[in-house]
Structure 1
Amino acid sequence: MIDVMQMKAYIELYNKNYKKSNELIRSKLDCYKSIKEDSFYQLYALFMLVTNFVDLNDDANRIKYYTDFKTLENDTTITKYLYKIHDVSLNISFSKMFLTRKELDSTAFYLKKVDDMRLYMNNFDKENQFKNYIAYYEELKDTQNKNNYIDSLKNHNQNLINENINASYNINESFIKNSKILEVETKKNFLNRNWIAFLVTLLVVGVVFVFVKYKSLKRVLKDFSKRRREYSLIENNHDKLKLKA
């Protein structure tokens, strides 16, 4: 239920309906704060609020809710990594906000702060950091550093392309390997099926052979019994004739 409530707020944020997103979050903020066993819900709610107020250009509420956000840094129900990956994204948005305002001193402060949090950046964060640096040096008319960061951004994107190519190659290699294993297993199964078919056929032939032999033996025994009876009858008649003589 809590996840659904936050998802609704996130959808509004994603669609740039920042005020609507804030309304949904603030109406449930006390509820999120009350979940003491897992403060992530409060963390994520505050993360969205700060993000929304950055885009709404509302410094008072941005500072207010970011201050609340920072109180969770040492919360034992949240890992350091989880806190930092959200914090670095917020600070990148602060850099961009001050760039838009052309407040370059504040921009430089947050650019440096984000650099110190590089370990917690995802690829999207890294791309945005490079873009912010490019825009920052563009404002300073510093072509050399601007071009350096353009090159860094190109290298970053190329690395992502290479990673995707390598991942695709590894997937293909794995597919080929599994296909070969499957082929071998299929051949084994086919061979096993042939052996089973052979053994079943052999068993059927054996049963038929025994049945035929049994029928033949039964007929021989029947003939033998019949002949034995006939012989006994002849022998008895012969004995009777001898007595009469």
Structure 2
Amino acid sequence: MQAQNNYERLIDSANNHVGGNALKALQFLDSIPNPLEKSIEGNVADYYSIKALIHDELNQRAEVYKNNLLALKYAKIEKNYQVAGDTSLELFANIYIVYEDTTAYSYLEQAKKYYELSGYKNGNLEVELIEAYAHFLDGKIDECNGLLLRKLDVYKNTKDDAYFYMFALYMLTSNYVYLDNLEEANKYYENFKSLENNSTIDSYNYSSFDANINLSYAELFYKKKQIDSTLFYLSQAEINRKSMADDALETYFIISSKVYSLSGKIDKSKTYLDSLRIFQEDMFKNVIDVSYHINSPLLKEESLQKNEDFLDIFGILLICLISIISFAYFMYYKEQRQKLSHLSNQTENLTYLKSNNEKLAVKVQGLEDYISQLKQKVKAIATIDDVVLQREKIKDFYKELHLSSTTLLEESKNHLELVNNFDMDFFKKIKKLHPKLNDSEIIICYYVSVGFKNKEIAVFLNTSIRAIESKRYRITKKMGLNKQEITLVDYLTQTFKDPN
């Protein structure tokens, strides 16, 4: 009997470490010898319930399922209705919220029944909150807020367990952030933060919710392109990074990578991209292994209770479900890898542009000087009266043009690609004023603005005069100049002429 009591104390020790040191808690439980029915008789349901919480903290979804199923099984045997109600809610959360299987609602009904049998006075609050949470994750904000606001005072006045109030405030804050109603969101967030040191709240739960709230703020401000605010809320979320669930951690990596890329901090952006890639690979491996991790332990436990067929039936159904989810996640993973590859390429391109910005700025000045020189030479050739001499000069000009252009422009860079990467004032302004113009039309406008004629532009762009004329006609139509009785040259001169 003394040995049995010692083993029961191991359960208490494990429970004390949940939310703080999951691995230590697991060591306490693993120290209890099999068969559990003899070592901790009457407490097996508590054992598996705590073990499910530990694996939830470690983000090991397969083990969470298995241990909740076993906890419910032994709770029925031991008539431990409190644990039966708690694990029924956990199974609802795992099956419906994670996999969107509506059959999970049967567990909500079970939870109500077991809480009534146990005499747990807050049982209905537990069920109502998890139902609101299902709406929360489904994006049904009106339904979620309706359930929460109707009972918010009840949650607030449940002094013996402030978790209900904290959970409700977390959902309300996140909902109003999503709706971009920051006044309401900030009000509920302040109430949420007032619970940080409440002795009835598990610090791990508070930290996890707080990280999610800050991520929701970060997402909102990133969509608004408000970099400083985004970085602030990401830094607040970072404080509780160890408490983030998988989906929150993935969101954290994605937003961090994007906002640092947007702010030009390419090295930091790449760091978060690498972290995201490693995280998703680990998640994928975990999902692929789920069937094994569920099937093997379930069959082992079933051999201890041959007269019970619960785990066998549900185990088979669950394995089928996990197999389907594994395939779905595999397809999702492939899609995410493609997106990551695309984002990585964009980041690399941005790195290249940034590192070569000064060189490109020099190039554009050289290009402008080059254009000016060509213009003067073309005009000089045009003034020669001697036809023979003029033809010779034109031939020399073509040779010089060919050699000079290959020296001026980098390999694989044409005029359009080079100039458009400079972000010159001309190109910024014309794109803003005339977004319908394509890139080739914009570059022609640039050449026209510096004084080139159609023939000169055709020579420089290696195309026909007719093609330039056709493009200029389309440009005037897109700009609406044909309705304003003003030429393209005059319009460009008036609009883009340097005031100095």
> 1:28-43 maps to which residues of 2 (within 5 A)?
28-43=151-166
Matched with 1:73 is 196
Amino acid at match of 1:73: E
Which region of structure 1 is more displaced relative to structure 2, 160-169 or 25-34?
160-169
Q: TM-score, normalised by structure 2?
A: 0.33
Q: Distance in 2 between matches of 1:33 and 1:171?
A: 39
Displacement after TM superposition at 1:165 (Å) = 4.6
CA separation of 1:142/1:5 partners in 2, compared to 1, >3 Å: closer, same or farther?
same
Matched with 1:89 is 212
Displacement after TM superposition at 1:134 (Å) = 1.7
Amino acid at match of 2:236: K
Matched with 1:52 is 175
TM-superposition CA deviations, 1:54-90 (whole Å, max 9, x none): 1110111111000000111111111111111111111
Amino acid at match of 1:163: N
Q: Distance in 1 between matches of 2:138 and 2:220?
A: 19
Which region of structure 1 is more displaced relative to structure 2, 146-155 or 156-165?
156-165
Q: Distance in 1 between matches of 2:293 and 2:151?
A: 45
SS across alignment from 1:38: coil
| Contact 2:135 2:141 survives alignment (8 Å) | yes
CA separation of 1:12/1:172 partners in 2, compared to 1, >3 Å: closer, same or farther?
closer
Which region of structure 1 is more displaced relative to structure 2, 92-101 or 166-175?
166-175
Q: Distance in 2 between matches of 1:177 and 1:6?
A: 35
| Contact 1:50 1:61 survives alignment (8 Å) | yes
Matched with 1:188 is none
Matched with 1:158 is 281
TM-superposition CA deviations, 1:88-125 (whole Å, max 9, x none): 11111111111111111111111122222121112211
Query: Counting helix residues as a fraction of each chain, which structure ranks higher?
Result: 1
Asked if residue 4 in structure 1 is aligned to residue 127 in structure 2, the reply is: yes
Matched with 1:63 is 186
| Contact 1:18 1:55 survives alignment (8 Å) | no
Q: Distance in 2 between matches of 1:166 and 1:18?
A: 35
Using CA pairs under 8 Å that are at least 6 residues apart, name the structure with larger relative contact order, 1 or 2. 1
Q: TM-score, normalised by structure 1?
A: 0.65
Displacement after TM superposition at 1:168 (Å) = 5.0
Asked if residue 112 in structure 1 is aligned to residue 235 in structure 2, the reply is: yes
| Contact 2:166 2:192 survives alignment (8 Å) | yes
Which region of structure 1 is more displaced relative to structure 2, 114-123 or 72-81?
114-123
Identity %: 32
Q: Distance in 2 between matches of 1:85 and 1:54?
A: 17
Larger radius of gyration: 1
Displacement after TM superposition at 1:160 (Å) = 1.9
CA separation of 1:16/1:169 partners in 2, compared to 1, >3 Å: closer, same or farther?
closer
SS across alignment from 2:161: coil
Q: Distance in 2 between matches of 1:17 and 1:165?
A: 31
CA separation of 1:39/1:162 partners in 2, compared to 1, >3 Å: closer, same or farther?
same
Which region of structure 1 is more displaced relative to structure 2, 141-150 or 37-46?
141-150
Amino acid at match of 2:269: K
SS across alignment from 2:130: helix
CA separation of 1:166/1:10 partners in 2, compared to 1, >3 Å: closer, same or farther?
closer
TM-superposition CA deviations, 1:113-161 (whole Å, max 9, x none): 2222121112211111001112202322444332332221111111223
Amino acid at match of 1:79: D
Displacement after TM superposition at 1:50 (Å) = 0.4
| Contact 2:211 2:238 survives alignment (8 Å) | no
SS across alignment from 1:27: helix
CA separation of 1:103/1:165 partners in 2, compared to 1, >3 Å: closer, same or farther?
same
How many residues are matched? 181
